[in-house]
């Protein structure tokens, strides 16, 4: 089934881009002022204590530059500290605003035109499990497929890769050549699977949360003017960082190495290639945290452990790095120091980002960015936005979740090191797309470049 031309036109953003570019600093030029975003955070287990709650609230913060991050360190004017929190996301491309050297001339194609980042201030629903029920989806828990009443109808067309197998393997081979030339040690290379979406994104999110059981899941729907809107459905298993403002403690848990849940986890534990990937990213995250942490406070709490994720569908290799942030450092400075996460860039980070800009076919948007919250005390928790679905298209702003004609994007990637085999890396990316297998198929995997 071919992609809907109407959906793809909206996803390419012809109308949205003209408005956003005309007044990039003006929120009403992008967002329908009559309707606020719908947001929530959901965790299955082992999530930060604040990783629940949500609703339809305001005001909003649109990230346009580095200076906008400072607003995350305090509530909006007129709201007392401790009476709410910011919830939102940063696109991967915001990292190229924080580190200008990471961008290359031309760079990856900007065909979806996602904002650099959006946050909304949630002034209630802060306590665990507290929050309104949005269309039958209880905040803080996904419920069962029946719990949403009639909110069960959605349709996803066949997914097609924007590179195909040949294009992806070609990009991986180019990266391997750069690694052997001593230009870089590791690069995370991704491709995007896209198909049509029609129906209820809230029902889709509920079903995906139930199936994936993410530790750091979230939903953010942004109504636009003229019947356009976007939704981010993050099913991430990976913690970017959790920061306790009272104690100064910060922890990050990078993931590198994936196997199907049907395989023997011992194979992942002993795999030299996967071990090398994680070791490099742990060292990178130690270096990034060193920009904001007290001298001598950084430690590797876990060099490597194997965890079951996606309701047993995947094995993941996970590390853990801890530190204590210097006095006076807030969330804005932490994000400036560590974003984007090393696990989805590579090492060295800036050179890896330059290579990503060169070899990938399109910009990533919220995928591989971060999604989370900054609470009323100045503490924060963000995921690494892998396993994240992006929906762009048409739908009435007064009907939360409903998309009439849209495109769904689900990007997948793999960490490339000197020992990588392009075909194996391609297969690993498809393993990560298995979460959608009950609702669609992947077709046309030949070259598309």
Q: What is the pLDDT of residue 42?
A: 82
Flag whether 384 is in a domain.
yes
Query: What values do phi and psi take at 384, rounded to 5?
Result: -95, 120
Confidence of residue 54 (pLDDT cuts 50, 70, 90): low
Instruction: State which residues form the domain around 221.
Output: 5-246+361-426+433-443
**pLDDT at residue 82 tops 80:** no
Q: What is the pLDDT of residue 107?
A: 76
Three-point CA angle 287, 330, 354, nearest 5° = 45
Query: Residue 435: left if φ>0, alpha if ψ -120 to 50, beta else—which one?
Result: alpha
Could you give the 3-state DSSP secondary structure of residue 156?
strand
Q: Of 238, 277, 425, 428, which is the active-site residue?
A: 238
Flag whether 196 is in a domain.
yes
Flag whether 339 is in a domain.
no
Query: Residue 84: left if φ>0, alpha if ψ -120 to 50, beta else—which one?
Result: left
Flag whether 305 is in a domain.
no
Flag whether 116 is in a domain.
yes
Query: What is the chain's mean pLDDT, rounded?
Result: 83
Structure tokens at 210: 């139930």
Tens of pLDDT, residues 345-387:
999 999 999 999 999 999 999 999 999 999 888 999 999 999 9
Lowest mean pLDDT among 6-10, 47-51, 81-85, 120-124: 6-10
Q: Of 256, 322, 349, 432, which is the active-site residue?
A: 256
Q: What is the pLDDT of residue 56?
A: 54
**pLDDT at residue 15 tops 60:** no
Q: What is the pLDDT of residue 318?
A: 92
Lowest mean pLDDT among 42-46, 70-74, 89-93, 278-282: 42-46
Cα distances from 405 to residues 19, 33, 100, 155, in angstroms, run 20, 22, 36, 10
Q: What is the pLDDT of residue 248?
A: 97
Q: What is the pLDDT of residue 53?
A: 67
Instruction: Output the DSSP codes for 159-215.
Output: EEESSHHHHHHHHHHHHHHHHHTTS-SEEEEEEEEEEEEEEEHHHHHHHHHHHH--S
Of all residues in the chain, the percent with pLDDT exceeding 70 is 81
- CA dist., res. 75 & res. 430, Å (int): 41
Q: What is the pLDDT of residue 271?
A: 86
Q: What is the pLDDT of residue 227?
A: 72
Flag whether 326 is in a domain.
no
Instruction: Output the DSSP codes for 51-65.
Output: --EEEE---EEE--S
Structure tokens at 203: 């029902």
Flag whether 396 is in a domain.
yes
Lowest mean pLDDT among 258-262, 377-381, 406-410: 258-262
Q: What is the pLDDT of residue 49?
A: 67
Could you give the 3-state DSSP secondary structure of residue 151?
coil
Tens of pLDDT, residues 123-181:
754 333 333 333 333 334 433 333 444 555 899 999 999 999 999 999 999 999 999 99
Instruction: Report pTM.
Output: 0.86
* Residue of 250, 248, 327, 335 lying closest to 69 (CA atoms): 335
- CA dist., res. 188 & res. 196, Å (int): 26
**Number of neighbours of residue 215 by Cβ within 10 angstroms:** 22
Is the previous residue joined to 383 through a cis bond, with omega within 30 degrees of 0? no
Q: Which residue has the higher pLDDT, 449 or 439?
A: 439
Tens of pLDDT, residues 302-335:
999 998 887 777 888 899 999 999 999 999 999 9
**pLDDT at residue 48 tops 70:** yes
- CA dist., res. 232 & res. 128, Å (int): 22
96 a catalytic residue: no
Q: Which residue has the higher pLDDT, 9 or 241?
A: 241
Query: What values do phi and psi take at 117, rounded to 5?
Result: 175, 150
Q: What is the pLDDT of residue 16?
A: 30
All residues at 6 or more sequence positions from 217 whose CB lies less than 8 Å from its CB, including other chains: 41, 42, 43, 44, 209, 234, 235, 236
Domain count, the chain: 1
Alpha helices in 181-248 (DSSP H): 201-212
Q: What is the pLDDT of residue 32?
A: 54
Q: Any idea what DSSP says for residue 293?
A: B
Q: What is the pLDDT of residue 223?
A: 82
Lowest mean pLDDT among 3-17, 34-48, 169-183, 202-216: 3-17
322 a catalytic residue: no
**pLDDT at residue 260 tops 60:** yes
Q: What is the pLDDT of residue 126?
A: 39
Element (H, E) at 117: strand 117-122
Domain with residue 141: its CATH number is 3.60.120.10
Flag whether 84 is in a domain.
yes
- CA dist., res. 102 & res. 234, Å (int): 25
């Amino acid at each position: 089934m071919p992609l809907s031309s109407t959906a793809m036109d909206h996803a390419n953003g012809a109308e949205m881009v003209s408005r956003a570019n005309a007044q990039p600093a003006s929120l009403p030029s992008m967002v329908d002022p009559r309707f606020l975003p719908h947001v929530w955070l959901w965790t299955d287990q082992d999530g930060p204590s604040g990783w629940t709650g949500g609703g339809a609230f305001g005001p909003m913060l649109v990230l346009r530059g580095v200076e906008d991050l400072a607003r995350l360190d305090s509530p909006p004017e007129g709201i007392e500290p401790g009476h709410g929190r910011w919830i939102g996301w940063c696109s991967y491309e915001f990292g190229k605003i924080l580190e200008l050297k990471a961008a290359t001339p031309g760079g990856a194609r900007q065909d979806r035109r996602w904002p650099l980042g959006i946050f909304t201030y949630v002034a209630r629903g802060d306590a665990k499990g507290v929050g309104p029920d949005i269309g039958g989806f209880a905040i803080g828990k996904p419920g069962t497929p029946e719990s949403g009443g009639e909110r069960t109808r959605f349709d996803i067309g066949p997914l097609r890769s924007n590179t195909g197998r040949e294009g992806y393997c070609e990009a991986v081979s180019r990266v391997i050549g750069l690694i052997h030339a001593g230009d870089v040690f590791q690069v995370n290379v991704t491709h995007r699977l896209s198909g049509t979406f029609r129906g209820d994104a809230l029902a889709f999110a509920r079903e995906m949360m139930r199936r994936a059981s993410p530790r750091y899941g979230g939903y953010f729907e942004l109504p636009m003017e003229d019947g356009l809107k976007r939704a981010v459905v993050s099913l991430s298993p990976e913690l970017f960082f959790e920061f306790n403002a009272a104690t100064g403690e910060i922890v990050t848990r990078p993931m590198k190495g994936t196997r199907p849940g049907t395989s023997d986890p011992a194979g992942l534990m002993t795999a030299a290639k996967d071990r090398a990937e994680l070791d490099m990213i742990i060292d990178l995250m130690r270096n990034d945290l060193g920009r904001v942490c007290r001298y001598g406070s950084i430690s590797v709490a876990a060099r490597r452990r194997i965890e079951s994720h996606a309701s047993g569908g995947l094995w993941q290799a996970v590390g853990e790095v801890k530190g204590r942030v210097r006095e006076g450092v807030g969330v804005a400075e932490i994000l400036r120091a560590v974003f984007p996460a090393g696990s989805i860039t590579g090492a060295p980070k800036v050179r890896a980002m330059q290579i990503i800009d060169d070899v990938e076919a399109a910009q990533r948007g919220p995928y591989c960015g971060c999604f989370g919250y900054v609470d009323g005390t100045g503490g924060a928790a963000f995921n690494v936005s892998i396993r994240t679905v992006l929906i762009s298209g048409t739908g009435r702003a007064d009907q939360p979740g409903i998309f009439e004609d849209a495109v769904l994007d689900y990007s997948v990637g793999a960490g490339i090191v000197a020992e990588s085999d392009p075909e194996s890396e391609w297969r690993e990316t498809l393993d990560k797309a298995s979460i959608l297998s009950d609702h669609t198929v992947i077709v046309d995997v030949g070259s598309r470049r």
